[in-house]
Each structure stands twice: as C-alpha cells, then as structure tokens.
Structure 1
Amino acid sequence: MTITASKFQSLELRGVGRSFGGVDALVGLDLTVRAGEFIALLGPSGCGKSTALNCLAGLLPLTHGQILVDGTRVDTVAAENRDFGMVFQNYALFPHLTVERNIAFGLQMRKVPKAELKRRVAEAIALVKLEQHATKLPGQLSGGQQQRVAIARAVVMEPRLVLMDEPLSNLDAKLRLEMRTEIRRLHQSLGLTTIYVTHDQEEALSMADRLVVLREGRVQQIGTPEELHNHPANWHVADFMGYRNLVDLDVVSVDGPNVTVAGNGVTLHGTAVGAVTPGTAVRAAIRPEDLVVVSPSLPVRGGNTAKATVSVVEYHGREFAVGVTTPGGQLLHVRSDHAPAVGSTVELTADPARVLVYPLALTGAAALSDEENELLEVRR
C-alpha cells in the first residue's frame, strides 16, 4: 500500500479555550502532540473533550489560545485547509453514494487526477478490508462496515492529523473490540497521528500512547496508560479510571506515604497521594479487583482487613463480582475466587499500595456538582 500520512514534527495547543455564552466549555488546554502519537481525550459527558476536538478540526473558533503545527498557527486557517481528517460518531456518510464514491468524495473536491483518485480509493478500501462491498450503499452495510468506510474516507486524504470523535460508541461490544484493533493497526501501519475522543477508559487504555483526562473543561492529568491506571493524580481521575470504590474516611495516622484511615465501619491502611494529616477528611479509592474476599488462595494483604455483608454476587467467568455492605452502610464492589452466599459475612483485604488516599481539600470536594453528590450518595 502506498497511502501514507502527511508529516509534521509537533502539534501544539497553547492555552486553548472555548466559551459558549460566557460559560467555559474548555479552559487552558496545553498539549504537545508528537508526530505518530495516538492521543486519547478521555472524560465523562460534558467534560470538554468533543469541544477540544472540534476546535482542532476548525469546526469551532477558539475563544482563547493558539493551535500550532511546527510553530505555525493553524487556528486561524479554515477547516478545509488544515489537512486534518475527521471521523464522526455518526459516520456522516452520504446515503445515496456507494462505498467507493463516499471514499472518493474528498479527493474529487480537491480535483485529484482520475487515475490517482482511483488508485488511492482502491488502496483505502483494501486497507479497511471492504473490497467485497465497494459498490454497496451505506444502508446495505453493518455498523462496523460503515465505520470502516468513514475511516477509509479520512485516511485516503493522507491527512497529517486524524481526529476521531467517539467512533465506536454506536457499535455492539464485539464490534467495538474488533474495531479497536483495526484502528490501532491502521494508525501504526500508515504512520498516522491520531487524536481520539472517548468516554470509555478501557478503550482509551488499550489504544492510546498518552491519555488526557478532562473534567468540567479542565485537564486533570496527562500521561501514559500505565501512569493513569496506576497513579491517578486525584480522585476524579481515579473514579474515571475504574476505581469504583470511593470511600470518605478520616486520617488516623500518617507515616510518610503510609496512612491509616477509618470511618463507616471500615479501617484501612493505604498510600497517600498528596499531603494528608491526622484528623483530616480524605477519600480512599480502590479498584474492585484490588479489594478481594479473603480465601485460602487470596490471603490477607498487608494487614488490611474489613468485615462486610454480601448483598449480590455476579459470575464473571474466572471470578465473581460481589457487592457488599460494611457495618456502617458503605456499599463496596469487590472480587472473589468463589461465590459467597448472599447475606453471609465476608472478610475483605487489599494491598495498601493499591488503596489510594486523596485529600478532599485539594480536589474541590466542597464544590461537587449535584450529579457527583448523587453518585457518591449511591456509593455510600
């Protein structure tokens, strides 16, 4: 295949911001993207990730900041002249055009010579493995096939940057897994630079070189999948990266990074992330897979134990997902290698290194939204 991405050294977002009617949707986004990187913008609905992508694409003008490619501003350049490819959430295919003609549309608008156009369209169709469907209309294709057409239409332009706005959200679970692998393969084989928007942390972790976690229009953390998975900067990031157990406790003692916290009928040894002092309120974050039911094959870890009552048990193949309630009424999500009886009392344990303790005063907990307070109330 001879389709290749246009090259640049770096893409810089400097203090990029966007407001709507005086309300900030995106604030002070600073990010440098290297050629060939796969960057995922990650966060809940309304966090500003799609706004950031639309600002990059030129579909929204900036309220603040600059976007530069190799030191040259592009935020003042019209969208069609930025040489960026876009893959939309709803595919945005022309229903009356065949697969071939959908993919060829952008090349025709650029008046690419017919022979070259034909060659590039054929290569793009082969890349996404749709040779048998080239003459079909979008309505005759599955969702996954339509998504492949949308991707082919973007890469056939040989863009220097590909922007993807939640491209897999309309697909079923099996197709999402397949398309993840396909998008990553195309990214690597074509030498693309990709910025990908998603609200699915598993999707982002599996595909991206670096993740940018956003909340209420502001960057919470930028790092590799491993960094964000293992070392969330604050409890907002931890919550979004799968630490489903968020427990409000008080600090009992501190010994360097080692901290003991208690409350709601639970006492835990954990690892402080940020400055905490005895007597202060904190929020402990624990992944379900790190909080397990004690058994002969899963003994007590680091002296951490807590009693809880089993309320629900779900079979997940190699393990069981168990919902438990502590004596203080705290709902927790845990894992077990066996199926404990509903209503029985079990002993829980967790490695103190995997119990992350965050100071509430540094995470804006006093100003939680109604939605967050509701969420935390459910967790309690």
Structure 2
Amino acid sequence: MTGPALRLEGVTRRFAGHAALADLTLDIERGEFIALLGPSGCGKTTALNCLAGLLPLSEGRIWLDDRRLDTLPPERRGFGMVFQNYALFPHLSVRGNIAFGLRMRRLPRAEIRQRTDEALRLVRLEEHAAKLPGQLSGGQQQRVAIARAVVVSPSLVLMDEPLSNLDAKLRLEMRTEIRRLHQRLGLTTVYVTHDQEEALSLADRLVVLRAGQVQQIGSPEELHDRPANPHVADFMGFRNLLRTTAETVDGDRVGFRIEGVPCTGSAVGDVRPGAGVVVAVRPENLVPAEDGLPCVVDVAEYQGRDMAAEALTGDGLRLHLRTTARLAPGDPLTVAMRNALVYPAEGRD
C-alpha cells in the first residue's frame, strides 16, 4: 500500500477559546521518525495528546491510511506511548510491565512470553527481568517503558520528552539506544522534545512549533542550515539575532551595517534595500578578524575543546561567541561574521 501511514488534517485544539494547537497538517510516512520541537507551551505535547486520543480535537481529522482515528478512544488506536515519567507499574516486575499490554489483548500465554522475551533482549534487560522498577536506574526504567510500548507491535510510537528526566550521560546513551531501536524495528515514531540537538540527531524530519503554530517542517539539515524565520533560527542555535537595515540586495546577498561596520549575509525571504532586517549568526560564526566589529569580552566559559563567551560592543550590543581561543573577561576582540542569514524584520515578533 502506498501513501502516508498517518495524516493529520488541520488538527486544532482550543482551551477556553485559546488555540494551544492550530491547523497542524502533516503527512507521516511508514517508518518515519518525526520530532515535534519547540519551547514549553508551543503545542507539541498537545499535538501528541491529540494523536494519542488523550485530548479531543476542536477541529481537524486524523487518518491512519483510510481509517479515521480521531473519533476512536485511545485504546482502539493501537499506538504505543512512552511518557516523560516512565509511568511503570511499581508493583510489577520488568517482565510484568512489558507484558502488560499483551495481556490486555488476551494473547495466548506462549505468545506473550515469546514476545516479552524478544522485547527484553531488544532493550538488553534480560538479567533484570525479575526486578521491580524501583530497583532500576532511570535509564533502565526508560528502556522498560520503551519495550512496553514496542512489544505490542504498534502502528505508531508516541514519545513525550522521554529523556528529560535523565542526566546528561544517560541522555546521550538513551538517544543512541532509541535510534538503534528505530533503525532495527522501523516503527513510525512521533517524538516530542524541547532539545534541538536531540531532535537533530534522532529525527528524519522536524516540526518546529511556536504558540501552537507550525513554523517550519523539514529535514535536520534544512532546519539546521536554513531556518525559515528568526524564531526557528533562534531555536536552532543562531543565538545572535541583530536588528539593522538592509543597505544593498544583490540576488540573495545582502549588505548591511552593524554599529557602522559593513557586513554581508544571505537573504531568507523577501529582503529589500532600506527595509528593516534581523541578522542571525551562530556563535561559532563570529570569528576574530583584523577588520570587524570591536567588542570586549564580558563573560567567558571554558567548555573543554572550546570556549563560549559573551562580548559587548561599544554601544552595548551583546554578542555570543564560540572559539578555540582562550579568552578572559576584559579581553578586547574584533570579530567578523560568517554565514549570516538575513530575514525581513516583520518575520520576528
């Protein structure tokens, strides 16, 4: 069968007249890993709960192939879900937690055992099968939650910030684990996160949301290299968002000045000479140069291979830098911009 596995058409959810999610339209292919990305309150968890059936839609439809899902209760949608807080049954063993969904489906005992054993091997928890959740580490508990979600062979796996309660080392390990499982099983997955690095490393496509509205849908490379607007750029690591005026536009090359210093960048959108613009630059693309923007280091943080720094210009403009040079507060710098993106000013509210 061809066509998308899952289709969201104008999915909207309102609370007291306010649209927490507005007009989300998205086709998700079989086996695709989609990340819903954005800050707190952007609508990503609302979207996931609408998919899961935990929230009714105010408008729109959800289809799985030619079957409409939004009119079905959660238990009839056949999805697996991994929650932020694991949501394991504390009185059941690891094996019991994983087998729970299979028992609810009243499958034969031999099949339940076989599929539970396979899931335990998949998440490498065979030796912990008899333990209770309280005897496991956070990462192990999350593996149990993932195994419980995938053991029922769901048509879709929903993950709601599953790594946010883990420490930094475990987050990296579990990120690799989730990617490994997805590559092996090929399950269609919708993953909610506020962590852009996590989304970039896991997803086939990203959906960036803001205030319930879709800002951009695209591959990790597209969102990383060419954010659609200043909001997406800010969220994807372009920490320097500088307001100025476009002086010249030649094709996609834009000339502008920052505190009197001439600079150039690439236009994104309809940039016109004389119009206000927002210039987006990653910290690593503000580089030392003989002819550039003078500034003074205000804060410097050693981060292993390089340093993160904040510097102030003569007019008090704050710049974010990342460099291998050793910096200290009070050090004078002159920096130039590389790979700057230039947006129409109305693209940032």
Per the normalisation by structure 2, the TM-score is: 0.96
**Contact preservation (8 Å) 1:265, 1:328:** no
> CA-to-partner distance for each residue in 1:195-229, whole Å, 9 max, x for gaps?
00000000000000000000010100000000000
- Residue correspondence of structure 1 range 326-337 to structure 2 within 5 A: 326-337=313-324
> CA-to-partner distance for each residue in 1:287-342, whole Å, 9 max, x for gaps?
11111224xxxxx7xxx721111112222222222211111111111122221342
Give 3-state SS (helix, strand or coil) of 2:85's partner: coil
Quick one: which amino acid aligns to residue 226 of structure 2? H
Match of 1:227 in 2: 222
Match of 1:217 in 2: 212
Match of 1:32 in 2: 27
> CA-to-partner distance for each residue in 1:326-365, whole Å, 9 max, x for gaps?
11111111122221342122111222xx10111112x252
- Residue correspondence of structure 1 range 357-368 to structure 2 within 5 A: 357-361=342-346, 363-365=347-349
Give 3-state SS (helix, strand or coil) of 2:102's partner: helix
Aligned pair partner of 1:124 in 119, 123, 130: 119
- Size of the alignment, in residue pairs? 348
Corresponding position: 1:306 with 2:288: no
Deviation of residue 251 (structure 1)?
1.7
> CA-to-partner distance for each residue in 1:107-162, whole Å, 9 max, x for gaps?
11111110100111111111111111111111111110100000000001110100
Distance in 2 separating the partners of 1:342 and 1:86: 48
> CA-to-partner distance for each residue in 1:155-213, whole Å, 9 max, x for gaps?
01110100000000000000000000100111111121100000000000000000000
**Contact preservation (8 Å) 1:266, 1:326:** no
**Contact preservation (8 Å) 2:4, 2:27:** no
Match of 2:88 in 1: 93
Corresponding position: 1:317 with 2:304: yes
Distance in 1 separating the partners of 2:125 and 2:41: 35
Deviation of residue 9 (structure 1)?
4.8
Corresponding position: 1:196 with 2:183: no
> CA-to-partner distance for each residue in 1:77-104, whole Å, 9 max, x for gaps?
1111111100001110011111111111
Aligned pair partner of 2:331 in 316, 319, 344: 344
Aligned pair partner of 1:10 in 5, 13, 27: 5
Corresponding position: 1:84 with 2:69: no
**Contact preservation (8 Å) 2:231, 2:348:** no
Match of 2:341 in 1: 356
**Contact preservation (8 Å) 2:90, 2:132:** yes
Shift in CA distance, 58/330, structure 1 to aligned 2, threshold 3 Å = same
Deviation of residue 8 (structure 1)?
8.7
**Contact preservation (8 Å) 1:293, 1:334:** no
Quick one: which amino acid aligns to residue 309 of structure 2? V
Unaligned stretches of 5+ in structure 1? 1-6, 295-299, 366-380
Identity %: 62
Give 3-state SS (helix, strand or coil) of 1:167's partner: coil
RMSD: 1.5
Deviation of residue 271 (structure 1)?
1.2
Give 3-state SS (helix, strand or coil) of 2:305's partner: coil
**Contact preservation (8 Å) 2:229, 2:348:** no
Aligned pair partner of 1:146 in 141, 144, 152: 141
**Contact preservation (8 Å) 1:87, 1:165:** yes
Deviation of residue 253 (structure 1)?
2.0
**Contact preservation (8 Å) 1:164, 1:195:** yes
Give 3-state SS (helix, strand or coil) of 1:305's partner: strand
Match of 1:297 in 2: none
Match of 1:70 in 2: 65
Distance in 2 separating the partners of 1:69 and 1:213: 22
Unaligned stretches of 5+ in structure 2? none
Distance in 2 separating the partners of 1:277 and 1:227: 24
